[in-house]
Structure 1
Amino acid sequence: MSAILVVALVAGCGSASVGPGGSGEVDRTASLRIAYPVTQSLDPAQAAEPAQLLIATWPVYDRLIQVTSDAKYAPMLATGWEFSPDGKALTLTLRQGVTFSDGTPFDAAAVKANLEHSKAAAGSALQANVAGITTVEVISPDTVKLDLAQPSTTVLSTLSSTLGGLMISPKALESPDLASRPVGTGAYVIDSFQPGQQVTYKRRTDNGGIWDDKTGKPATVSIDTFGNADAMSNALLGNQADLIVWSSDVGRFRSAIASGTLEHTVMGGVLNMVGINLNKTREPYDDPRVREAVNYAIDRESLVEAFMPDTVARVQPWPEGLPGFDQAREDSYTFDPAKAEQILADAGYADGVDGGEIAVANVGSFPDVSQAVQANLAAVGIRVELRNVDVYTLVTQWAQGHSEAEMMYMSMPSIDPYSWTQRLFVNPVWTPGNTTEVANMAAGLDNSTLSEEARAAGIGKIVDYATRNALYAPLWQGVGGFVSNPKVEGLDDLASVNGGVADFRNVYMTE
């Protein structure tokens, strides 16, 4: 998230402090410097998941569909789309007059080439993301029809994702340099790339090359990896970065924010969640009573107040903003250590229980939060060990069953509720154990011919089941926000925030 990973959407952004910025005029000579983890490759076929790629490629690559701040699909390279009456096909109307930076026109043939290339990316997350698309038919230069394996809303999620919706010049699709030399329709072209460290882009100068007049305002954009929160904050305070993504308390910036030399922008309403994923195939979490005790033992409100004050404590493993959320479920597990102890005693653990290892994503405030969680659990007799793990590595290690639990993001870069059920409750990469019951409950909920009311009701039943069976121990919903140079503008007009990862295409600097 991922840095991950972040996949989630902004319902509204508000600046917590407005400082003395520049003149207010757009500085078209500016270099926008962003502190954000950079991936090892810019090739979608080599990306582990969508949000990871969006971090570093938004300046150069556009997507067919984007997601708005109120969790709706909106035009990007596709200006419209329509399902067939039976839901087995989706027809896209494409934006005209757009070119890739190598001069190749963007049209239906380019869309067909991209989707067929994605389908052929054997063994990749990209291939898996487009698996529901069977054939691609060019109807006209600005119209393309996608035949689907079955009626499914997930195709819209795919087309708004960097894994499926991102459009590459057909001339570059087979390039051996695609991992480091992306060629897209975006406002920028690649200038330099150091895998895992830095990527720099410069604004396109070809006539008519920038189709979206809200983008391309800074002359250059650089995205740099800084090893940890201290390095990131020092980069901002030391004028090595103009913008950082900050998911912890802003106490270290308080004086600078008060004086107006820095600004804090809160991302409100994002879908992104964080929590503890319990391995239900391993003791003691194969016993639902132990999982319940974990949920009663955690003081979520205090955790949020101390470490993530711009987020909301969450009990149900489902974000507000998606169909199926029910505020009443938030009373399911109050902070009640005595009740946790009684549940453990009833389960045969009156003297406490060894809860094994919690692998902690080494990002933001997670390591500090995990220590508070460890103390909460110890207070009721659940003894756990903590191990901090690089967030990308943790995804692989968790799937391999290395730990009894993990503290990790509980989200995906999508607003499709069916896709969320698969991510949280069905996919074996994230959910160890038998998930057949939930998979059966979710069957058909992605059908594009289903009414939204029926879809929400079906999703709600799954979330009820997941909450009742304590499949997770959620902690909070939200991702914090940004801290920036006061000359940075446009953070209230983010193009998309999926999984907590922002598309900064509309962000600029003033003189």
Structure 2
Amino acid sequence: MGRAWLVAAVALLSLATAKTTVTVGLDADPPNLDPVFSSALVDRQVLNQIYDKLLDIDQDLKIVPMLATSWSVGNNGTVYTFKLRQGVKFHDGTDFDAEAVKFNLDRALTAEGSRRKGELAPVKEVQVVDKYTVRVVLKDAFSPFLYVLTDRAGMMVSPAAAKRYGQDLANNPVGTGPFRFVERKRQDRIVLQRNEGYWKRGYPKIDELIYRPFPDDDVRLANLLSGAVTVITPVAPKDLARVRGDANLNLFAFPSLGFQGVWLNVTRPPFNNKALRQAFAATVDRETIDRVVFLGTATPANGPFPPGSPAYDPSIPIPKRDINLARKKLQETGFASGFSFTLLTTPGPVLTQLAQVYQAMAAEAGIRIQIQQVEFGTLLDRTDKKDYEAALLGWSGRPDPDGNIYDFMRCGGPLNNAGYCNPKVDALLNRARATRVMEVRRSLYSEALRIIHEDVPYVYVYHPQVLIGASKRLSGLPLIPDGILRFVGAELK
């Protein structure tokens, strides 16, 4: 009797102290875990667990407090004053305060190679008012500024860690978030552990968070079906019925904020020739791509703003496929027999099929596409350096429209992979940034888009859905339109 009681007690104690682990299957290995240098959606899935931001967004895309508890705006929209959360510590034990905020914003503005410079370009000065108050002075009114701070530009890294590791902070990330970094094995796993001293008492609920890259859709799904992973993002469109039909799984599907399409490098042949860009763009059939590749889950695009965005303008038509126009453009420039180019993409069945569809469509006009597959980090590096001709690469989207167009289409923008520059477009985008009236901004964006459609540095093709598959044992996972999974309140049954 005594021994049976002891065995039962040990079993109960074991259950009470068992480590709860959530494993997440991603479609790529995150290239960079330093928010200043990160430029990939898949990075953000991990970054949002390690780093808190000054502000966040909720399920209705409203701005909510995070490390900043309140804020005020003055001087005609050029001065922002933030009150900061007190008693917060970075994972290395150092204090979070106004000096840390100034360090982070200054670093994002000045670090060589920073991908945040464009987002924070309107910032003139960051001032420490007192230990828990910081003031940001802008050069001009910048209506998207608070939304900018809900993403990587607002993520706070430990100043001590940044000084210690320098560029190697990406391999030793230190924030204030609900999970702390433990280890990383490239192309295999990233392990995070519960932050026992998290400022939100009683959170997070789970002990360990593991991210694993599965570029192959079938492998990613197999791991979810077997229970080897708890959640996957994304689910391939062909696998939606399989996830819906599994009694142990939930499928979450909702419109994304982003866009997908094809970058055309205007700085080198063949796409330094506008007519050739126009010719290729005219071969693309968006409705067919949605139906054949994405099984009706995508929305054909007329630009970077999805339907539902306050900047979406239905009066801008979705471009229709026009093979005769493509042939006419080729003839006008002495390429009547067509031309060839290399299209960069990453491995995986969906992107391979998509690239092949582009290839078949273009071939009807005599345009020959060679498909080259490279690892995702390599794709980002090559497009950043303009070391490519054309590339399949999109954007996960931002709640404010500026985040979907400004840095992509302005001269010298850090996300302007085409090397495109049109001063008229720059002027329109800068005017849009300076007004808070969305009707005025929408009109300015539409005017800019008509120029961009004519110049074709990028072929906007579709807006994807966010497709997430998860074990029904997982609860407490908010579904935010940015598609980023936030595990601070997640639990395992």
TM-fit CA distance, 1:460: 1.6
Q: 1:44 aligned to 2:63?
A: no
Pick the aligned partner of 2:303 from 316, 326, 342: 316
Q: How does 1:35-434 map to 2 (within 5 A)?
A: 35-36=25-26, 37-39=28-30, 41-45=32-36, 47-49=37-39, 51-126=41-116, 129-162=119-152, 164-176=153-165, 178-206=169-197, 209-211=198-200, 215-246=203-234, 248-251=236-239, 254-255=241-242, 257-268=244-255, 270-308=256-294, 309-331=296-318, 333-345=319-331, 348-350=334-336, 352-362=337-347, 365-409=350-394, 411=395, 414-428=398-412, 429-434=416-421
How far residue 263 of structure 1 moved from its aligned partner, in angstroms, is: 2.8
Equivalent residue for 1:505, pick from 470, 481, 487: 487
Tell me, yes or no, if structure 1 residue 484 matches structure 2 residue 470.
yes
Q: Within 1, Cα distance between the matches of 2:468 and 2:100? A: 36
Cα 1:381–1:458 shift into 2, 3 Å? same
1:229-262 CA distance string (max 9 Å, x none): 23322322333211111253233x6345313133
- The one-letter code sitting in structure 1 at the alignment partner of 2:428 is M
Q: Which structure has the larger Rg?
A: 2
Deviation string 1:118-167 (CA, Å, 9 cap, x unpaired) is 445334335665454333223244321112233323543442222x3112
| Residue 477 of structure 1: how far off its partner (Å) | 0.2
Q: Distance in 2 between matches of 1:53 and 1:466?
A: 29
**Separation in 2 of the partners of 1:120 and 1:248?**
39
Distance 1:115 1:434 in 2: 27
Range moving further from structure 2, 456-465 or 467-476: 467-476
Tell me: CA distance 1:38–1:382, structure 2 relative to 1, closer, same or farther (3 Å): closer
Q: 1:314, 1:477 within 8 Å by CA — same for their partners in 2?
A: yes
Higher relative contact order (CA 8 A, sep 6+): 1
**Structure 1 length as normaliser, TM-score?**
0.81
- C-alpha distance in 2, partners of 1:90/1:27? 45
RMSD: 3.1
CA pair 342-174 structure 1, distance change in 2 beyond 3 A: closer
Percent identity between the two aligned chains: 23
Letter in 2 for 1:395: L
Closer/same/farther in 2, CA of residues 74 and 380 from structure 1, 3 Å limit? same
Judged with a 3 Å threshold, the aligned counterparts in structure 2 of structure 1 residues 319 and 58 are, in CA distance, closer, same or farther, namely same
Q: Distance in 1 between matches of 2:264 and 2:171?
A: 37
Q: What's 1:438 paired with?
A: 425
Q: Could you tell me whether the CA contact under 8 Å between 1:362 and 1:390 is conserved in 2?
A: yes
Is the alpha carbon distance of 1:120 and 1:434 closer, same or farther for their aligned partners in structure 2, counting shifts above 3 Å? closer
C-alpha separation in 2, matches of 1:395 and 1:220:
29
Question: Residue deviations 1:405-435, cap 9 Å, x none?
Answer: 22211x2653343343333322544122443
Could you say if the C-alpha distance between residues 256 and 49 of structure 1 is closer, same or farther in structure 2, counting changes exceeding 3 Å? closer
Report Cα offsets for 1:418-476 as digits up to 9, x if no partner. 343333322544122443331233233222x5533322221121112222444432221
1:10 paired residue number: none
Structure 1 letter corresponding to 2:418: T
Match of 1:464 in 2: 450
CA distance in 2, matches of 1:127, 1:42: 17
Change (3 A) 1:52 1:148: farther
Q: Which amino acid aligns with 1:134?
A: K
CA deviation map 1:334-379 (0-9, x unaligned): 23434544554555554x4113122224356211111011111112
Higher helix share: 2
Rounded to whole Å, the distance in 1 between the matches of 2:450 and 2:207 is 50
Q: Which runs of 5+ in 2 are unaligned?
A: 1-15
Structure 1: distance between partners of 2:189 and 2:341: 37
From the superposition, tell whether residues 405 and 102 of structure 1 become closer, same or farther in structure 2 (CA, over 3 Å): closer
1:277-318, Cα deviation, whole Å (9 max, x unpaired) = 223344554454443443332222121122223221213344
Residue in 2 that maps onto 1:23:
none
Q: 2:490 is aligned with what amino acid?
A: Y
Q: Would you say the 8 A contact 1:38–1:56 is kept in 2?
A: no
> In 2 relative to 1, CA 474–126 (structure 1 residues): closer, same or farther, beyond 3 Å?
closer
- The 1-side partners of 2:458 and 2:109 are apart by 33
- Asked whether the equivalents of residues 97 and 132 of structure 2 are also in contact (C-alpha less than 8 Å), the reply is yes
Contact 1:135 1:146 in 2 (8 A): yes
Change in Cα spacing, 1:212 to 1:330, as seen in structure 2 (3 Å) is farther
Shift of 1:116: 3.7
Could you say what secondary structure the match of 2:154 adopts?
Answer: coil
Please give the alpha-carbon distance, in whole angstroms, between the structure 2 residues aligned to 1:475 and 1:260: 34
Structure 1: runs of 5+ lacking an equivalent? 1-25
Q: 1:372 to 1:490 in 2, by over 3 A?
A: farther
Asked if structure 2 preserves the Cα contact closer than 8 Å seen for 1:247 and 1:365, the reply is no
Contact 1:159 1:165 in 2 (8 A): yes
The TM-score, its normalising length taken from structure 2, stands at: 0.84
How many residue pairs get matched? 471
The alignment partner of 2:161 has SS state of coil
Shift of 1:44: 3.4
Q: Which secondary structure state, in structure 1, belongs to the residue aligned with residue 388 of structure 2? A: coil
Query: Amino acid of the residue matched to residue 184 of structure 1?
Result: G
